[in-house]
A and B are shown apart, each in its own frame.
Chain A
Amino acid sequence: MLLNIIYITGICIYALSLLFYISDCISRNSVAKRIGTGLLVITALLQFAGIGIRAMEGGHFHFPVFTLFDFLFLLAFCISITSIALAYMKRSEFAVLLINLVGFCVMLVNRLWFTAGDNALYSWETEHRLLLIHIALASISFAALTVGAVFAAIYMFLHRKLKHKQWNDTVRRLPSLEKLDVYSYKALMAGTIILVMSLVLAVMSVAMAGRWTLFLDIKVLSTLTALAMYMVYFIKRRLWRRSGREAAIWALIGYGFIILNFFLNTWSAFHSWSGV
């Protein structure tokens, strides 16, 4: 019940925060930006409280990541925290808005489609704790990849505007192309490394359980495809030294596969314990 109230309040405050950010992005308004950031901090605190309640369910502490609800809740929290940190950077209004739009969608979808449920794996008695770290790392990596994708999208937008000489206030409020490229690269680099670590742990976990057939699951294949896209991104960016625009396209394709991953749960047996 309490979790429900916290979650609903969190969504409402998140929406309010976004409205203030949108207002600032449409027409420069520093007061709206400050209020938006304040509300974002409250949202993050509520998310933290919600995760805390889930962690203490059953009377003792356990890390709440084993249901899709918990995973998405943690992802939304990671996104909120990252965007709060970004909010203190210069010319970051649009990036914060876009990242939080993703975060808000995650929270909303989580509320509409999934229920908190029991901690499936908790009762399933995992062979080892590797899975727990795998899920936590996956959550952090998705947050980092979201940030990278948002910067890549802003790069594409700004590149288009500058190339076609469409000068306006929005263009003036964005970071430079060079910076966007660097921010996107660093976020994707961090996200990909964490994702690889997370996948290695998952492979080890599956191998220890002896469930080899799971490697042919559609979800595993789509995750590997996403990873391959990011590899292409790094090769093009570092080795072939391709333009920022081309790299940004690959970054967005990679993120497309990450989103696809969520929707493949229906046809996938990989996370049949209802996790990600």
Chain B
Amino acid sequence: MHIVVVGLNYRTAPVEVRERFTFSEEDMPKALEQLNSTKSVLEGVIVATCNRTEIYVVVDRLHMCGYFIRSFMEQWFGINREEFTQHLYIYEDEQAISHLFKVTCGLDSMVIGETQILGQVRNAFLTSQKHDATGTWFNMLFKQAVTLGKRAHSETSIGESAVSVSYAAVELGKRIFGAFNDKKVMILGAGKMSELTVKHLYANGAAEVIVANRTLGRAEELASKFKGTPCTIAEAKNLLNEVDIVISSTGSNEYVLNAERVKESMKKRQSRPLFMIDIAVPRDIDPAVGELSNVFLYDIDDLEGIVETNLEMRRVEAAKIEVMIQEEMDAFHTWLKTLGVRPAIRALQEKSNAIHEETMESLFNKLPELDERQRKVIRRLTKSIVNQMMHDPINRIKEMTGGKQGGEALDYFSQIFALESLIHENEQEARGRNKKATAPVKAERTKNAVDQQAEEKPLKVSLAPATL
């Protein structure tokens, strides 16, 4: 079996293409059903966000699987495949697993390290699981991916630093004040950028907002959004000693605030620091203001420099996550390898139990004078001997199948204990059971155009040794 991901994202497809490939929440059960009834598909998860639409599948063979998934997309979206094939990417096996891990960790996101995608992948998996579209492989893989995503964000600082100018201003403010709970913010010039910055500050608990603008009408409009106080620029200059944060973005060609004015107001502020953000071009605040004691002045270039530094820090953290991803991939491979040993272990246990029962029966027939208690003791002790004998071989084969020559070791194991026929019988039995269990579902699926694949579903529970 193989893991394959087919999809498109913000890198491969523009928004006008991506918007045509969205799955609504209410259509998801039907889409999953149709995906699972697609030829060759055994398990499926659909991850659909504004930046990506990805279809993760477990297929029984790689040959033509891309064609089948494209057919599914063609049918579901009603779009000719020639229109979207150029935007699609297909990853198989290791690349597909690595891609999923990168997606959950936020390394494949537009804003590297963002956490939203982790929740979206988790929800997509839970939806698929709820509608029986996942099996042994994806149940393990997606749980591992989500856990890795959480670990990546908790053990590294990839998602902590601000990557936009407005957030950078908030982060800077936090380094000065800690919290904005009792802080007053003043906006000079009611531009979009300053509005966005004050919005973040307000969301972080800023106590009061004063909006100053050349035209009072616009100031009133913006102030109403933050339950703030509107005023003119001239009035604002006199209120400078009362505020803790000043965000300036007027369209003025001259300095709105000069060093003299700020120095005067700082005398009244005593020891309280003043954080000034000048995002206007040309600048509103005289750079000499930054030299004053207790004044922290940052202009647009400084903020962009912080964003760039933060992005660089995120890239450094991403390198650490890459190592974590490699470790998780190894762990998944080991798990896959041990998956094949389960039927052999089960067969060995069944065989040993059968021998034990047979021997006990023979013994009790030869010694009919034994009472119930004696029989119980003998049964328990002999069972213990069998268990102890089996303990080491079972543990060893588990370890060995995780190694390089796992398949060979498993073959020897089956041959030494003569388990081949028993394993085969168990598989046949499991298939038979599964056929019965899935019969009603398949009956429904026969209505669909691609229903013939349903006959191959029993493979879903046959835990064949890994081929990845």
Binding site for B on A (CB under 8 A): 28, 30-31, 158, 162-163, 165, 167-169, 171-172, 174-179, 237, 241-245, 247
In the complex, which residue of chain A has the Cβ closest to the Cβ of B176?
Answer: A177
A-B CB contacts (within 8 Å), total count: 60
Cα-based distance from A174 to B172 in the complex (angstroms)? 12
Residues of A within 8 A of B176 (CB): 162, 176-178
Residues of B within 8 A of A172 (CB): 157, 160-161, 171, 175
Complex partner residue of A177 from B154, B171, B175, B306, CB under 8 angstroms: B175
Residues of B within 8 A of A242 (CB): 270-271
Complex partner residue of A28 from B157, B271, B273, B302, CB under 8 angstroms: B157
15 residue pairs from A and B, CB less than 8 Å apart:
A28-B157, A30-B155, A158-B175, A162-B172, A163-B290, A163-B296, A176-B174, A177-B177, A177-B178, A178-B273, A179-B178, A237-B271, A242-B271, A243-B273, A244-B271
Apart from A158-B175, A169-B313, A172-B171, list 8 A-B contacts with CB within 8 A: A28-B156, A163-B290, A167-B172, A176-B174, A178-B178, A237-B271, A242-B271, A243-B271
In the complex, which residue of chain B has the Cβ closest to the Cβ of A174?
Answer: B175
* CB-CB under 8 A for A175 and B178, given A167-B305, A167-B306: yes
Cα-based distance from A167 to B168 in the complex (angstroms)? 11
In the complex, which residue of chain B has the Cβ closest to the Cβ of A182?
Answer: B178
Cα-based distance from A245 to B155 in the complex (angstroms)? 33
Residues of A within 8 A of B296 (CB): 162-163
B326 at the A interface (CB under 8 A) = no
0 or 1 for each of B300-332: is its CB under 8 Å from A? (1 = yes): 001001100100010001000000000000000
At the interface, is chain A mostly helix, strand, loop or mixed? helix
Residues of A within 8 A of B273 (CB): 177-178, 243-244
* CB-CB under 8 A for A243 and B302, given A169-B157, A172-B175: no
Q: Kindly provide the distance from the CB of A94 to the nearest chain B CB, expressed in whole angstroms.
A: 13
Residues of B within 8 A of A168 (CB): 309
Q: Kindly provide the distance from the CB of B350 to the nearest chain A CB, expressed in whole angstroms.
A: 43
Contact A165 B298 (CB under 8 A): yes
Residues of B within 8 A of A178 (CB): 176-178, 273
Q: Kindly provide the distance from the CB of B61 to the nearest chain A CB, expressed in whole angstroms.
A: 42
Q: Kindly provide the distance from the CB of A32 to the nearest chain B CB, expressed in whole angstroms.
A: 11
In the complex, which residue of chain B has the Cβ closest to the Cβ of A237?
Answer: B271
Residues of B within 8 A of A176 (CB): 174-178
Residues of A within 8 A of B448 (CB): none
B294 at the A interface (CB under 8 A) = yes
Q: Kindly provide the distance from the CB of A159 to the nearest chain B CB, expressed in whole angstroms.
A: 9
Residues of B within 8 A of A28 (CB): 156-157, 317
